Every structure is written in C-alpha cells, then in structure tokens.
Chains A and B, each alone.
Chain A
Amino acid sequence: MDMTHIHGRWLRCLVALGPLVAGQATLAQDKFIVMASTTSTEQSGLFAHLLPQFTQATGIQVRVVAQGTGQALDMGRRGDADIVFVHDQAAEEKFVAEGFGLQRRPVMYNDFVLVGPKADPAGVKGKDITAGLSKLAAANAPFISRGDKSGTHAAELRYWKAANVDLAAKKPPGYQECGCGMGPALNIGASSNAYVLTDRGTWLSFKNRADLAVLVEGDKRLFNQYGVIVVNQALHPHVKKDLAQVFGDWVVSPAGQNTIAAYKVGGEQLFFPNAGQ
C-alpha cells in the first residue's frame, strides 16, 4: 500500500525527539542541586561567574531557578528546591524558624540605588534614602514598585516606612505597582520617566536605560544582605541535603568568598562577601 508519505511526518517528530532523549540521558548522570534564587542575583551575572567555579571544584551542577525572594522561599517550603539563596533577612529567619530550612548563613551584600530621570524633578539626589523618598512623595513624582514580595520589594517597603510614608493608608499619587521583576520594572520606569529602587547589579547590566541615572546611593541603609539556607530534608525526603550542604559550605568558605569578590561589571565590584560576620 502506498503509505510512504505518511512516514515523513513521523520521521520529523522522531528526529526532534532524538536530542531530547540524548540530553536527558547525559543529564541524569550528573550530580546536581536545584537552587531557588532571585532574579536580581541571576541577572547581575554573578551566577554565570560563581557557579562554574563551584562545579569545577566539586563536580556538582547547580541549577538555578530565578524568581522573586517570596517565590524562592515558597519553592523551598514545597521542597522543590534543595537550597535557597535570597536577600530578605526577616523572611529568611522566619523560614528557618518555621522549620523549612536548617540554618541561615550570611554570604555577601550589595547595595540598592534609587534611579530616576536625569533632570531629577523631585530633587531626591543625595546620600539619604529616607529624605529622598519623602521628597518624592511630596512632589507627587512617579515611582515604580515591583510589588512582588521580592527582597527588593521588602527593602523598598522598609525605606518608605522609615520615611514616614504610610503606603497602606494612602499611596502617593505617583506610586505604581507592577507585580513584576526588576528588569520589567526598570523598563517601565525608563519608558515613563519614573523613579525606581533597584539593586546595583541589575542596574549595571540593564541596557534600556533611556533617560534614567543613579540619583541616591551610598546610604548605609541601602546595603542588601544575602543569605543561603539549606532546605530541611525532614519535610521532603527527596531534597538533596548533602549536596546542598556542600554548596552552603563552599560559598562561605574562602574559595567561594574570593570568587564573589572577584566578580566585577565594568570594573566595579558588585557583591561584597561577609560570611564571617
């Protein structure tokens, strides 16, 4: 029977399947852990620099699922990650207290900056974040908040509180929440000439700046602490506790800390290791 032309369709699909099967075979042989981390850490390019060193030293592959801090911790609660690496100390300590994680260890810090239109219509420029935000609110200037339970969002809320602006009661007229990551928030800020609180790492690698520039930086309160927590295996038996522990130990060891310090973007160091502190 003349059925040969039907085979062509199946052949095409089988050919597409080939690399998938082959890929799966090789993947299954590697040791790996799943790390839930934040978009800001990944987008800064730190992981592309840090993780290959770790894999070379230990043979363990680290698979990073990058999302907001809130979602990363939720992933840890569900047991879908073996280790979490985020930057919201209060939320992290709660995570451990609730029994989802074994121990929180500080790893490094970077800093936040407030970016806005170069002309700075609200006059926020300076070294004081709370003063800057107060002026922003008073001037009814547009501000883009991530609004996504991320570490950056949590920090932003702390600064507004310190500036005596009660967001729950009444948001300043220009305040907009996008429920999105750092990059998209900056995109919106760039196209609408608004102020955005961002981490330096994302800002340095962000390409679509339009008219935005760094306006407030250097305030000690803008320092952003990162911590690493191994997920508790007791709740989810399949969590790879031992392999995750290897990473946890390595990243606070001199080897890991030096690798972090060595990472530079445009000659600038982004992250400052502080594990011993």
Chain B
Amino acid sequence: MSAFGESVSTAANLIASADPALMRIVALSLSVSGSACLFAAGFGLFGGAGLAVARFRGYRILVLLLNTLLALPSVVVGLVVYLLLSRSGPLGSLGILFTPTAMVIAQTILVLPVVAALTRQLVADALRGSGDQLRSMGAGPLTRALLMLVHERWAVLLVLLAAFGRAIAEVGAVMIVGGNIDGVTRVMTTTIALETSKGDLPLALALGLVLLLVVALINALIALVQSLQKGSAVR
C-alpha cells in the first residue's frame, strides 16, 4: 500500500512545484491528442452522419467494418503508420517519423472509428423520430443527418470526449511512431511506461494520477459550459 501513498504525495509535489519537464510533457499530450480528436471529429462527424443516411450498395458492409475498427489495437496502428512513414517506406521523404506530427496522424487513425461509429448510431437513432418531419420541410438526407448533429450536440460532445480519452490514454501508437524522444515526442503515457520499466513505480503511478487529473479538469470545464447553457439547450 505504501507505493500508492507515495505516488499520491509525489503527484501532489509534481503539480505544486509545476515541474517544467512535466508541464511540457502534459502540454504535448494535450496538443497531440487534442489535435487528433479535432481531425477525427472533422472526418468522423460528417462521415458518421453520412453513413447514417447512406443507402448505396454495400453500406452495411462499411458499417460492419467501421464497428470492427473500434477494436483496433493502438500498437497495430502504430506499426502501420511507422511502416508508412519510415524512410524505407512510401512516405519516408516527408521526414515526419519521430515527430509529434506522426503521433497526431496515428492517433487520428485510431480514434476516427470511435467518432464515426458512435456518431452514425446516434444520428440514425435521432432520425427515427424526426426524419419524416424534416423530409416534409424539404430537407435532403445529408441535411437531415447534419441537423441531427446540431440537435444532439451534447451526445456528440460525449462522443468526442470518448475519442479524446482513447487518444490521450493510449501508449502503443505514440511509442512506436514517436520513439519516446526526450523533449520531443515524450508524452504522459510513454513517460509512465518508461518510469515503470525503470522500476520507479511510485513515480509512474503519480504520473498516471496527474493524467487523470488533467482529463478531469477538462471534463469539469465542459460541465461548467453545459450548465451555463442549461436554459437554452437541454430538454
């Protein structure tokens, strides 16, 4: 039990002293996973909404594939992106392996299915009650789907939070395409892995606590925004 106690006090000290190395690592984690979430949202929200109203041949197979990709292991994504970006690979001349850009690409690929699959489901469900009336008012299929994104924006936000959580908590992809380079591509999860392998378990746990705290802070901010909107939106 002492390891847990030690890690809590270590976490408190790290935060209180605003350790600059830690701050940099936290900032990088947030920006890599935040960017990935942003790009995944761009493609995934529209893709998911589009799939919800799609009726072309084979769309059911696409949905099956999408739902399967929810279980994509992060380390597999890392490997695939590594092989693509490696200098002996097709995109090697871009020179972005072992940079934060590669990490953003890998995490975007990882969480895109999360956003798309969940969005597809929630738009399809929302349209069940509203599709006819919107059609009556002159809305085409894609317009109906996009209106559902607006209508169900709190559910959409939760989907994005889930995607962000998946991104910021993963270690397999960022380790392989980032290389865990000190000061360049070291993020919270790779630091935790490193400290664990060095045997410094209390520090590793402490960093895990810091990670959770950072995400909790973000969620609290969102809840605050939500409560301020209470009058206008939630019914």
Contacts and interface: CB of A to CB of B under 8 A. Distances in A.
B157 interface: yes
A275 interface: no
B31 A207 contact: no
Chain A interface, DSSP helix/strand/loop, else mixed: helix
Given A5-B233, A19-B27, A207-B199, 7 more contacts: A5-B229, A19-B28, A19-B30, A63-B184, A64-B182, A65-B181, A202-B198
Contacts of B92: 79, 236, 238
Contact of A80 (B31, B32, B98): B98
B200 interface: yes
Contacts of A267: none
Interface stretch (B34-42, B71-79, B127-135): B34-42
A5 B31 CA distance: 22
Interface of A: 2-3, 5-6, 8-10, 12-20, 23-24, 27, 34, 39, 43, 47-48, 63-66, 77-80, 180-184, 186-187, 190, 202, 205-209, 236, 238-239
Contact count band on B: 35 or more
A187 B199 contact: yes
B191 interface: no
A19 B29 CA distance: 10
Contacts of A236: 87-88, 92
A20 B98 contact: no
B104 interface: yes
Contacts of B182: 47-48, 64
B136 interface: no
A17 B101 contact: no
Nearest to A82: B87
B208 interface: no
Contacts of B97: 80
Contact of B100 (A20, A47, A180, A202): A20
B199 A16 contact: no
Nearest to A10: B38
15 contacts: A6-B150, A12-B218, A14-B38, A16-B38, A17-B35, A34-B179, A43-B197, A78-B86, A78-B87, A80-B86, A80-B87, A184-B197, A186-B199, A187-B197, A208-B201
Interface string B82-97: 0000111100110101
